[in-house]
Amino acid sequence: MGRRPKDYLKNKIKRPKMKTILQAPKGMPDILPEENLLRRKIFKAVEDLGNFYGFGQIETPVLEETKLFLHGTGPTSEIVQKQMFILKTPGKDLLALRPEFTPNIVRAYLENGLYNNPKPVKLFAWGPVFRYEQPQRGRYRQFWQCNFEILGSADPIYDALTIQIFYNLFTELKMKELMIEINTIGCDNCRPIWHKNLKNYFRSKRKFLCADCKNRLKINPLRILDCKNESCQSLKNGAPKMIDFLCPECRKHFKQILEYLEILGLPYNINHHLVRGLDYYTKTVFEIRLASDNLALCGGGRYDYLVEMLGGKSTPAVGGAAGIERLVEVLKKNNFKVENPYKPKVFLIAIGDLAKQRALKYLEALRKVKIPVAESFAHESLKAQLRQADKWEAPYVIIIGQKEALDNTIILRDMKASSQEVVESEKMIEELKKRFKNDNIENI
């Protein structure tokens, strides 16, 4: 080698270095591998239920036009008033990070002509949503939801089916002491009468309302029933109940849902104060809670006017959503164990550059026949790599050194028997499969 020029150090590229390590944006946590195992378990349960009940999976963009949520979620909802992430594009378009799934799914239903499919159209979704609110227990600015939506039927059996699906999801995840909270908030025919009575009642109690609820009194008094402020909650017991103002159709619809829940043996409680926080709900609203600590796991209801509000034909619909972070929190509290699904049958060890070249070739050969493999090529010593093999608990280890690389052989080590033998590399797959069969090791 020639000598380095004297100005070598002077000409060395200087790369800027940050003074502090950056952190994720507030309320937008990283999802690490251990937690992802739990999330994958939840998604598998969601997917299995969706497939069984005939739901197709749909994915919608993370960004949508802001007016979709202004019209869909509703201008008086907390989401629209306080919690949307809105950005303006260079072309002056106003876009919002989706704060929920239902308006997106309805938009996709209309745009892609899914209304031409046999009714009802059943869809489920899974992915991140965004709300600009103060992060708190189980609630983040970026969080994940799963949704089940049924579009095209007013039959109350689908309200009950939606509730049953979420109840089944939580029981599949070994959650106990579940309670269904359910209510009806009527339709456009009977709700205005309740609305008027509710407004008159809270107007007489105005001085006891919080600042937000004084504003809600002008816009939408139903939202007062959803307020968590202690002074507002104390007024709810004396408030008029929707069930006293139901039209015959809504009364029949609600009665049938309760009958279905009883037939299914699902525990429920009629909560006259449950209204949910979204403006598009009509008739049924529900939540499923952990009775032990009154923790809401999911919520939903019927939204018979939303499709029409977003430009489509009158289409009754019902659905619900569950927050994944909340479910993960419960699973962790219950010490729910999920094993890593990747269990290598073989650990591949390579010592030296030529051996590493051979190892990459063997790695691909094993992949093609679907034999799970682990490796630790970064470690140079045999001892260090064998320690890694022990951690992975692989039943067999393939060792390739300089001699084996030159001879086109491998050393096949049986970890349980602590024995090993030299095998020609071209017979490696055949020998492994034979041993798997003899040892009753499942080959994926």
At 273-305, the pLDDT tens digits run 898 877 889 999 999 999 888 889 999 999 999
* Low-confidence winner among 8-17, 139-148, 360-369 (lowest mean pLDDT): 8-17
pLDDT of 444 higher than 80: no
Choose the final residue of a domain: 333, 362, 394. Answer: 333
- Closest by CA to 78, choosing from 86, 69, 87, 88, is 69
Compute the average pLDDT of residues 32-39.
Answer: 91
The pLDDT confidence band at residue 169, using thresholds 50, 70 and 90, is very high
**Residues in Cβ contact with 137 at an 8 Å cutoff, skipping those fewer than 6 apart:** 329
If DSSP codes are grouped into helix, strand and coil, which group holds residue 158? helix
Whether 280 and 392 map to the same domain: the answer is no
pTM of the full structure? 0.88
Q: Is residue 4 part of a domain?
A: no
The pLDDT confidence band at residue 336, using thresholds 50, 70 and 90, is confident
Question: Alpha-carbon distance 158 to 302, whole Å?
Answer: 9
Whether 255 and 369 map to the same domain: the answer is no
pLDDT at 269: 95
Strands, sheet with 94-97, edge to edge from the N-terminal-most edge strand: 63-65, 94-97, 86-88
Whether 63 and 142 map to the same domain: the answer is yes
Q: Is residue 218 part of a domain?
A: no
Specify the number of domains making up the chain.
Answer: 2
Higher pLDDT among residues 158 and 209, named by residue:
158
Residue 88's Cβ-side half-sphere holds a number of Cα atoms within 13 Å equal to: 3
Q: Indicate which CATH number applies to the domain containing 401.
A: 3.40.50.800
Whether 282 and 309 map to the same domain: the answer is yes
Whether 326 and 350 map to the same domain: the answer is no
| Domain limits for position 369 | 346-438
Averaged confidence pLDDT in the chain:
90
Whether 295 and 433 map to the same domain: the answer is no
pLDDT at 1: 47
- Within a 10 A sphere around the Cβ of 329, how many other Cβ atoms? 15
pLDDT at 215: 83
Q: Is residue 15 part of a domain?
A: no
* Low-confidence winner among 53-62, 72-81, 102-111, 381-390 (lowest mean pLDDT): 72-81
Whether 186 and 297 map to the same domain: the answer is yes
Q: Which two tokens stand for residue 399?
A: 């060792």
Q: Indicate which CATH number applies to the domain containing 314.
A: 3.30.930.10
Whether 251 and 352 map to the same domain: the answer is no
Question: Alpha-carbon distance 176 to 334, whole Å?
Answer: 10
Q: Is residue 27 part of a domain?
A: no
Q: Where are the beta strands (DSSP E) in 49-198?
A: 56-57, 63-65, 86-88, 94-97, 121-130, 142-151, 178-184
Give pLDDT tens digits for 247-263: 999 999 999 999 999 99
Whether 76 and 178 map to the same domain: the answer is yes
Q: Is residue 219 part of a domain?
A: no
Q: What percent of the chain has pLDDT over 90?
A: 63
Q: Is residue 80 part of a domain?
A: yes
* DSSP string for residues in 348-416: EEE-SHHHHHHHHHHHHHHHHTT--EEE-TT--SHHHHHHHHHHHT-SEEEEE-HHHHHHTEEEEEETT
Whether 58 and 37 map to the same domain: the answer is yes
Whether 141 and 288 map to the same domain: the answer is yes
Whether 272 and 354 map to the same domain: the answer is no
Compute the average pLDDT of residues 154-176.
Answer: 97
Choose the final residue of a domain: 302, 333, 364. Answer: 333
Q: Is residue 175 part of a domain?
A: yes
If DSSP codes are grouped into helix, strand and coil, which group holds residue 44? helix
Q: Is residue 287 part of a domain?
A: yes
Choose the final residue of a domain: 333, 368, 402. Answer: 333
Question: Alpha-carbon distance 104 to 106, whole Å?
Answer: 5
